[in-house]
Amino acid sequence: MSSIIQFKKRVSGAAGAPAALKSAEPAYNMVDDTLYVGHGDDGSGNATSVKVVGGSGAFVDKTGNQTIAGVKTFSDSPKAPDPTANDELITKQYVDAAVAGGGTTYTAGDGLDLTGTEFSADPTIARLASPTFTGSPAAPTPASGTSTTQIATTAFVQAALDTLVDAAPGTLDTLNELAAALGDDANFSATVNTALAARLQSASNLSDLADAAAARTNLGLGSMATQAAGAVNITGGTIGSGVTLNADVDGGTF
């Protein structure tokens, strides 16, 4: 029977390298499919570090699906077949055919996310910087109150205007109509305050009249309006019948 040499191994449990190895001692972790080896020598036969030397868990597998992390730099251009799904790499040949038309129609699901829009034989491609659009380009409508550099759609602008106008009547729902209602007075507040300052104050009970005599004349009040209640002097006029007097009547002299 031939000799059998088995590496130090881990069949199940945690992925990763063993905590320690002897110098040049191999170890195989079946959990992450990675081959490790002890590197260096501390002078007592123990490895000073553990390095990865093989296995699909540490190197790119030529076949099968695999997730590769980190940034990879290629010295030559990698090659790939034309994509058939949205999450696959796009080849130069695929892009050239899409831009030039090439007798092929590319739709959503062909690798380029065109959202249903097809490339024509003479496509128009927008520049990345300062593009000029024709027709009716569409964009997502920002949430109400958004204040960023995001594109504002007509729906966003209309909603903002509706919020500004709110329930204002049709004759007062523009700035021009509001200005006209204020008499196009840029100092409307000062004008109103000045006008109110010239009005009589209810708390003053007419004591703030500038010319009381002129006010009595304008109200049609004669001299009786200024006589004391206990010294009324009536001159002229007629007292009608049925009037009860509680006063001394002096016929005067002649």
> What is the tens place of the pLDDT at every residue in 187-206?
999 998 988 887 878 888 88
Specify if 239 maps to a domain: no
- Mean predicted lDDT score pLDDT of the chain: 81
- With a cut of 70, say whether residue 113 has pLDDT above it: no
Domain that holds residue 33: 8-54
Specify if 206 maps to a domain: no
Residues 6+ apart with CB under 8 A from 98: 104, 106, 112, 119
Same domain for 83 and 50: no
Residues 6+ apart with CB under 8 A from 11: 30, 31
Longest dimension (CA), the chain: 173
- Give me the amino acid identity at 133: F
- With a cut of 70, say whether residue 112 has pLDDT above it: no
C-alpha dist (Å) from residue 131 to 135, 214, 222:
13, 77, 86
pLDDT of residue 215: 84
Q: What is the pLDDT of residues 222-234, one digit of tens each?
A: 777 777 777 777 7
Specify if 134 maps to a domain: no
Residues 6+ apart with CB under 8 A from 164: none
Q: How many domains, the chain?
A: 3
pLDDT classification of 252: cutoffs 50, 70, 90: low
What average pLDDT does range 158-172 have in this prediction?
89
What average pLDDT does range 139-143 have in this prediction?
92
What average pLDDT does range 90-95 have in this prediction?
83
pLDDT of residue 123: 56
Structure tokens at 118: 């097809």
Phi, psi (degrees; rounded to nearest 5) at 212: -65, -40
In which order are the strands placed within the sheet that holds 49-54? 8-10, 26-29, 34-39, 49-54
Specify if 109 maps to a domain: yes
What average pLDDT does range 110-138 have in this prediction?
62
Instruction: Work out the percent of the chain whose per-residue pLDDT is above 70.
Output: 86
- With a cut of 90, say whether residue 14 has pLDDT above it: yes
Specify if 83 maps to a domain: yes
- With a cut of 70, say whether residue 147 has pLDDT above it: yes
pLDDT of residue 22: 95
- With a cut of 90, say whether residue 105 has pLDDT above it: no
Could you give the CA distance from residue 52 to residue 27 in angstroms, rounded to a whole number? Answer: 10
Stated pTM of the model: 0.33
Q: Are 21 and 36 in contact (CB under 8 A)?
A: yes
Specify if 130 maps to a domain: no
pLDDT of residue 251: 62
pLDDT of residue 23: 95
Question: Minimum mean pLDDT among 27-41, 53-67, 186-200: which range?
Answer: 53-67
Query: What sign does the CA torsion over 196, 197, 203, 209 have?
Result: negative
Question: Minimum mean pLDDT among 23-32, 42-51, 101-110, 211-220: which range?
Answer: 101-110
What average pLDDT does range 2-13 have in this prediction?
89
